[in-house]
Amino acid sequence: MSRIPGSVVLLLSICTTSVLSQSHVAPRGRWAIGLAVGMSSFSAGTEGLDADGQRLEFSPYRPTMWGVAAAYGREGLRFNLAARYGEPGLGARGKTVSDQGEQIAGGLVVVPEAYHLASFTLGASTRLLRLRGGPALRPSLALNLERWTGVGAPTRSVLGGQTGLALEVALTRAFVGTLEGELGYSPASPFRKEDLPEGFQQRGVWRRTLAGGISWRF
């Protein structure tokens, strides 16, 4: 099982400490730029039967996503733009695999770093409520454009949407830490039809992301 990157754990620790120990510090400025890191998991993008009649599902596998972000607005309505990059593996679930001599049905086989993924989001968020001590909860809605590039294959662009909920902590008047969970959906598969085995069908893909970041407001 993939672990959450150490950088995400560090951001979690910083923000949690701030929540427990700091009172609210009003952030300055309408503009913000920042860095973020997170991990995404995807549902299957295609399924079908192999030559042995076993049902197989292929899905992108848990990339660590590194990104930059910009925002405009204050504590109410805020507009957000972000770009992220990661290298998902290719996961095949459903094969019977051998584990120390034991046959396991429905196993998962992963080819690491099978794709290059560039993700671009444009959306808006607003403050839902402010917690005791200063942290704020901010729900968001956004459009998401993903560009998938496999080895030796043309880039495939997939447009979808996402919703998120972020915990925002003012570390100082200039710096803000965030922890965010996202749920996205793309009605088109990241896999090209011509790259799939015969009889496999493309499927829309759900994406879940946990990310942490820090931004500078000015």
Query: DSSP state, 126?
Result: -
Interatomic CA distance for residues 124 and 78, integer angstroms: 6
> In order along the chain (218 residues), what is the average pLDDT of each group of 10 residues?
52 49 57 98 94 89 98 94 98 73 72 97 96 89 98 94 97 94 98 93 97 97
| 99 is a domain residue | yes
pLDDT recorded at residue 152: 86
| 1 is a domain residue | no
Number of domains observed in the structure of the chain: 1
Q: 139: domain range?
A: 6-217
97 burial level (CB within 10 Å; 0-12, 13-18, 19+): middle
| 197 is a domain residue | yes
Tell me the helices (H) and strands (E) count for the chain, helix number first.
1, 14
Tokens representing residue 14 in the block: 């910083």
**What's the CATH code of the domain at 25?**
2.40.160.20
pLDDT recorded at residue 194: 92
In sequence order, the β-bridge partners of residue 40 are 209
Angle 120-218-32 from CA coordinates, rounded to 5° = 15
| Cβ–Cβ under 8 Å, residues 195 and 151 | no
Tokens representing residue 132 in the block: 């005791």
pLDDT digits (tens, 9 = 90+) for 63-122: 999 999 999 998 899 999 999 999 999 999 986 665 565 666 667 889 999 999 999 999
pLDDT recorded at residue 123: 98
